[in-house]
Structure 1
Amino acid sequence: MGEVRAKRMPRAERERQMLDAAVRVFGERGYRAASMDDIADLAGVSKPLVYLYLNSKEELFSACIQRESAALIAAVREGAMGGGAADRQLWDGLRAFFTHTARNPYGWAVLHSHARTGGEAFVAEVMAMREEIVAFVTGLIVEAAREAHGDPALPGREVAGLAQALVGAAESLAGWANTDASVTAKEAAATLMNFAWAGLGNLMEGRRWSPPPGA
C-alpha cells in the first residue's frame, strides 16, 4: 500500500501563516531583536521555507507593515461607511480604529512603534498609511465645515493641521488603551470626540481661542 501524503497547503495560506507569526514576533520584540528562527518556529515551518517565500527579514517586515496598514485603513473606512453627518462618520471611524488596534495589538505595535525605528524605508511605508488616514479625516473636517456654514469656511492649512492633530491623538490614545484592558474602544473614541470635536464645533462657530495679550 502506498504512502499517504499530507495535503499540500496553498501558497496564500502558507504565507498568511508565516505573516501571522512574523507580526507577533516583530510586535513583541521589534525588528532588530526578532529572529527568523523564532518566526519559523512559531509558524511551524523551516527557516529556509520562510526565506523561500519572503526572501529576507527586511522583506518580511515590509510585508507585515503593508498587510497591517491595509487592514487598518480598510477597518476605518468600513467603519465610517454608514454615512450620516460628519461627526457620526468620524465617531464610527474612530470606534473602528480603536476596535481594530485593540484586536490586533501586535500589528499596531509593528505600525506605531517598531516600523518607525526600523529604518527609512519602513518609516516611509508607515507614513504612507498615516497620510491616507489623515486625508480621510481631512475630508470629514471639510464636510463638517460645509454642514455648518454651507461652504468649507476653514483655511486649508488649518484643516490640515486639525487632521494631523486628530490622527496623532488617536495614535496616542490607542497606545494608552492597549496598555489598559479596562478601556474600551467606545470609551477611547468618546474621549477623542469630546476633546477634538467639541473644540472643532467652537471653531466652526467662530469661537476661537487666542493667546492672552503679551503671551
Structure 2
Amino acid sequence: MTETAQQSTDQPNRGVRLPRDERRAQLLSAAQEVFVTNGYHAAAMDDIAERAGVSKPVLYQHFPGKLELYLALLETHGTELVNRVREAIESNPDNKQRVRAAVGALYEFVDREDQAFRLVFESDLRGEPAVEQAVERASSGCIDAVAEAVTADAGLDHERARLLAVGLVGLSQVTARDWLDTQNSISREEAVHLMSTLAWKGLSGFPLQHG
C-alpha cells in the first residue's frame, strides 16, 4: 500500500469537504471520544483535530475553543436524556410502569457505548458556571418530568412532589453508575427491576388522588 493510500485509510475525512452539519457532527463525535478518555483538562484541541482527521483551522471554524465544544456536547446529551425520560414516562399510563420506564431510561443512558453519561454526571469541569448550568438543566429536566407525570398523582404540592422525584432520579443514576463500574453479573434488566421495585415500594405509599 502506498503512503498516500495509507493516509487515506487512516484519516478518511482529511481533505474531504463535508456539509457543515455533517462536519459538526463528526467533530463532536471525535471530541466526545477525547473528553471521555482524557477528561476536559487533559484533552487538547490538537488531539480532537487529529481524532477527527481534520486540521486545527477546520476545527476552529466550527468551535471557537475547547469549552464551546464541551458545552455543545453537554447540551446535546442533556437534552437527549431529558427527552428519553419524558418519552419513557409517557409511554404508559400505569404509574408503576412509568417508574420502571424512567429508571430504565436512566440506566440505558449510563450503559451507552459512547459513555456520554460521564460528561453529564462525572464532569471534571463542574466549577465552570456554564458547565454547571448545563448539567443542572439536564438533572432538573429529568426531575421535573418525574415530578409532573408520577408523583403529582398523589396530590402532593410541587415542592414535595419534586423532592420525591429528586430521590428517584438520584437513586437511578447513582446505582446505574455503580452497576456499570462494578461490572457484576447482574443484567441491566434485572438491575432496573430491582431499583424500580425499590422506588415503587416507596412511591406507592402515597395514595392515588386522581382517576
Question: Is the TM value for this pair above 0.5?
Answer: yes
- With 168-177 and 128-137 compared, the bigger mean Cα shift is at 168-177
Contact map agreement 1:31 1:118 (CA 8 A) in 2: no
Q: Which amino acid aligns with 2:147?
A: T
Distance 2:65 2:140 in 1: 27
In structure 1, C-alpha distance between the alignment counterparts of 2:94 and 2:35, rounded to whole Å: 39
- Provide the rounded CA distance (Å) in 2 between the counterparts of 1:90 and 1:196: 7
**Secondary structure at 1:30 match in 2:** helix
> Who is 1:209 aligned against?
none
RMSD of aligned alpha carbons? 2.1
Determine the structure 1 residue equivalent to 2:179. 177
- Check the 8 A contact 1:32/1:118 in 2, yes or no: no
**Residues 1:106 and 2:91 aligned together:** no
> Cα–Cα, structure 1 residues 118 and 19, in superposed 2: closer, same or farther, change >3 Å?
farther
Deviation readout 1:63-96 (Å, 9 max, x if unpaired): 0101111222222223333222122122123212
Q: Distance in 2 between matches of 1:41 and 1:112?
A: 26
Alpha-carbon separation, structure 2, partners of 1:34 and 1:93:
33
Shift of 1:191: 2.2
Three-state SS of the structure 2 residue aligned to 1:45 is coil
Pairing partner for 2:89 from 80, 88, 100: 80
Summarize deviations over 1:17-64 as a string: whole Å, max 9, x none.
110111121112211111111111111111221111111111111101
Residue aligning to 1:32: 41
2:203 corresponding residue in structure 1: 200
Give the Å deviation of 1:118.
Answer: 4.9
Equivalents in 1 of 2:48, 2:16: separation in Å?
23
CA contact (8 A) 2:151 2:164 kept: no
Query: Helix, strand or coil for the counterpart of 2:115?
Result: helix
1:78-132 Cα offsets, whole Å, 9 max, x none, are 3333222122122123212211321145311011011653512101111011111
Contact 2:89–2:146, Cα closer than 8 Å, also in 1: no
In structure 2, the residue matched to 1:213 is none
Gaps of 5+ in 2: 1-14
1:42 to 40, 51, 57: 51
Correspondence for 1:161 among 160, 163, 186: 163
Equivalent pairs counted in the alignment come to 193
Please, which of 186, 191, 201 is the counterpart of residue 188 of structure 1? 191
Query: In structure 2, the residue corresponding to 1:160 is in which secondary structure?
Result: helix
For 2:68 and 2:124, locate their aligned partners in 1 and report how far apart those are by CA, in whole Å. 13
CA distance in 2: counterparts of 1:45 and 1:87, whole angstroms: 49
Q: Deviations over 1:122-157 (max 9, x none)?
A: 011110111111001102333542xxxxxx1x3443
In 1, the alpha carbon distance for the partners of 2:159 and 2:87 equals 27
Matched residue type, 2:55: S
% same residue: 29
Q: What is the TM-score of this pair, normalised by structure 2?
A: 0.82
Distance in 1, matches of 2:113 and 2:157, equals: 36
Worse-matched range after superposition: 68-77 or 28-37: 68-77
Q: Per the alignment, do residues 54 and 38 of structure 1 end up closer, same or farther by CA in structure 2, a change over 3 Å counting?
A: same
